[in-house]
Amino acid sequence: MTSYNNLLLQVTDQTAVLTVNREQKLNALNRETVLELTTAFRFLEQQSEVRGVILTGAGEKAFVAGADITEFASLDDTGAETLANEGHGLMDTIYNFSKPVIAAINGFALGGGLELALSCHIRVASTNAQLGLPEVSLGIIPGYGGTQRLTQLIGRGKALEMIMTADRVGANEAYNWGLVNHVVDPAAIMDFSKQLLQKIFARSPNAISKAIDAVNAAIQTPQKGFEKEIELFGQCFASPEAKEGIRAFIEKRKPNF
């Protein structure tokens, strides 16, 4: 298994737990960490024993408290575009990952940290989580997909309010806005996330992958989303898992996926 300078990776019971391990920096995303995360997700995509991923941060204070601003001081516009391209590469890899990815938001998720959480399929927040996009305070805008994915998730008005005020929102407000799926006690966040994945693991892996593709199509190419759903629906029926699932339903038993 690949070793990383800024990440911890543990695989148990078909679940990969990927932890950003820069606790002394509140798990801030420097360039090396972005590239390591991209490598890690590409590796996990190929591991048949891994059926889902939980992404979290080390310690009790932060999921990821933002980008590493110390790297920004020397950037010109060309360097900034390169950095944004690398960030988008990571976020797109997670967003289009064929297996479920849960962000276990165990504290601050700010700037690039919130953008990282937005790229995941499901977000579980601890009660002490704080979420925000503070970039305009630095004279810049979110550059890792935040202006797009936040708007898709909570709507234009709320997204612009969060971005333009640079204010943080707490876990309960984030839940009310639809920004996170669940809010749980900090001590329970990993167990809850693992249980959620186990529920998903009881379903067809092929169908889960196709569902991710279909839902993403509704956002990325909305004019073709319905066509994509029809295509993927048909492809499911060619799989052994569909035959097993339908047969199990008729025979009144649990499917063996």
Claim to verify: residue 99 and residue 180 sit in the same structural domain: yes
Claim to verify: residue 173 and residue 211 sit in the same structural domain: no
Q: Is there a catalytic annotation at residue 173? A: no
The neighbouring-strand residues paired with 54 are 17, 102
Claim to verify: residue 16 and residue 93 sit in the same structural domain: yes
Evaluate whether residue 257 is within a structural domain. no
Catalytic residue among 115, 229, 231, 251: 115
C-alpha distances in angstroms, 101 versus 32, 54, 58, 71, 138? 21, 6, 17, 28, 30
Q: Which domain holds residue 131?
A: 7-201
Claim to verify: residue 32 and residue 139 sit in the same structural domain: yes
Evaluate whether residue 119 is within a structural domain. yes
Q: What is the pLDDT of residues 12-33, one digit of tens each?
A: 999 999 999 999 999 999 999 9
Evaluate whether residue 154 is within a structural domain. yes
Claim to verify: residue 126 and residue 78 sit in the same structural domain: yes
**What confidence score (pLDDT) does residue 226 get?**
83
Catalytic residue among 23, 60, 135, 244: 135
Evaluate whether residue 230 is within a structural domain. yes
Give the SS3 label for residue 198: helix
Evaluate whether residue 1 is within a structural domain. no
Q: What is the pLDDT of residues 197-249, one digit of tens each?
A: 999 999 999 999 999 999 999 998 888 888 888 888 888 888 899 889 989 98
Evaluate whether residue 2 is within a structural domain. no
**What confidence score (pLDDT) does residue 236 get?**
86
The CATH number of the domain holding residue 85 is 3.90.226.10
Claim to verify: residue 227 and residue 158 sit in the same structural domain: no
What pTM value is reported for the model?
A: 0.92
Which residues are within 8 A (CB) of 218 and not within 5 positions of it... i.e. 6 or more apart?
A: 225, 229
What is the domain count for the chain? Answer: 2
**What confidence score (pLDDT) does residue 1 get?**
58
Q: Is there a catalytic annotation at residue 115? A: yes
Claim to verify: residue 221 and residue 173 sit in the same structural domain: no
Q: Which of 179, 201, 223 delimits the end of a domain?
A: 201
Claim to verify: residue 161 and residue 46 sit in the same structural domain: yes
Which residues are within 8 A (CB) of 68 and not within 5 positions of it... i.e. 6 or more apart?
A: 25, 28, 29, 30, 31, 33
Claim to verify: residue 195 and residue 226 sit in the same structural domain: no
Claim to verify: residue 60 and residue 184 sit in the same structural domain: yes
Claim to verify: residue 85 and residue 184 sit in the same structural domain: yes
Evaluate whether residue 105 is within a structural domain. yes
Which residues of the chain are under the pLDDT cut of 70? 1
Nearest-CA neighbor of 60 among 7, 126, 111, 123? 126
Nearest-CA neighbor of 99 among 37, 49, 146? 49
Evaluate whether residue 126 is within a structural domain. yes
Claim to verify: residue 84 and residue 186 sit in the same structural domain: yes
